[in-house]
Structure 1
Amino acid sequence: MPIDESVNLRVTHSNLKNFSADVHFSLQMTVESAKDKLWKKCGTSVDSMSLELYDDAGAKVHELKDNLRPLGFYSPQDGYQLHIIDLDPSSVTSGGWLEDTSLVEKFSISEEAFDKLDGTFRKFKEKLASKNPSILEKKIPDNYMEDFCSNIKVGDRCEVEPGGKRGVVKFVGRAENIAPGFWVGIQYDEPLGKHNGIVKGKCYFDCPPLHGALLRPDKVKVGDFPECDPFEEDEI
């Protein structure tokens, strides 16, 4: 029984500039079968697909024109590039919209039509205000929780509750693009945060990714909180 030899090729596409995939092929499969396998990966139909083979130096070595030939006839080697050319101008891959979402038509609705919808947050607020108008009139003052910051300064070791997460204070002050009042920026000792100190496009402090948190000061306790020993829990 003959051995089913195979090859790994790097597949690229004429219309999909960001598409690149390493695909495993049997050398015994026909060119048409290879095209069918690629159609399921990139969306170009078999009838609209032309294939070109490039060596590892980027030089074209073959055009795979005969669909009935086995792939091995064209002597591909591991690491060669198999380039798909989509010949259909109306193909789903044409125009770049599969990669550039700015080209996709966005759903929009007029203010008049939106006002007629039920179950929206706008309708919820209107209903809430009709029952208790004072709820929407309450605003957070600019000095909210300022008193909690009196003993917190940048560089302090701290512990955050709930959860007992430890870290160092990196920011104390207002963050108007989030909400009025005072905030404390923490760099956690471990990747237990949500960001790298940049929140809603504004940099409040600098720290490694997933180590940053911005919290109200009432959740931050400063003091002698050394970094936790990662092996401590394993000790008996």
Structure 2
Amino acid sequence: MNEMPAMRAYVTAGDATRYDHQAEGSLRLDVTHSNLNQSFHDLLFDADVPISSVKLKLNRHCGTPPDCMELYLRRGNQMDTVFLYDDSKSLRQYGAQNGMEIHIKDIDPYSLSKGGGLEDVSLVEKYMISEEDYDKLENTVRKQVQAQKAKKQKEKEESGEAAREAIALEELNKLLEEVKVTFLIGARCEVQPGSRRGEVAYVGIPKKQSVVRVGVRLDEPQGSNNGEINGTRYFECPPGYGCFVLHTNVTVGDFPPTDPFASDDEF
């Protein structure tokens, strides 16, 4: 069974009615050009305007000056072609009907469209610049791409740094809670170096520091401060009786105040 007639009937089913709602006195024509591969489908024309007006309209589509146009009306095939030589006549007078084709012959010997001049981009002279000179230019696409990459890399690094800082802070707070369990405020202790005795007066993370400190109120003036660091007071004690040390340098236990008059010598 030959399916081609059925296929053709399906594809062209709307052809008989495609112009039913078209305005009276108008024509829909296809347009081709001698120098262009591009064609224009179903352009709308007034059937009664002179060919000179038709040329003006076609000029807006293809760029060919009206006085450099020769127009031909093709009525079904290239063999049935009419030369529209009289600019005063209308398309209707030349027998134009919907679906026919107007062919534009560009007779300008210097036409820009000649030889693919308006369509073949390979004919266009391209601007060339060396890599060195291009890199000297500001606001180029390359520099914008490089800036975007640098921004993303910085954001990635900052994000990684923030994540590391968050982890470090979490670990520091965890250590602080563990130290607070062992080093209770008021507990007797001994501080190294020097086996200095006193009592725990503070456990925490001082301002502008990122380490857990144990503040000790010493029994004797063997310290370096009065319970204050960088203008912030953390506990009360006389000058020279306070110190802030790492918890690893402090031992909590039975460390009574040292009696300076006690002696193991027997008389």
TM-score (norm 1): 0.48
- State the structure with bigger RCO (CA 8 A, min sep 6), 1 or 2: 1
More helix by share: 2
Task: Give 1 or 2 for the bigger CA radius of gyration.
Answer: 2
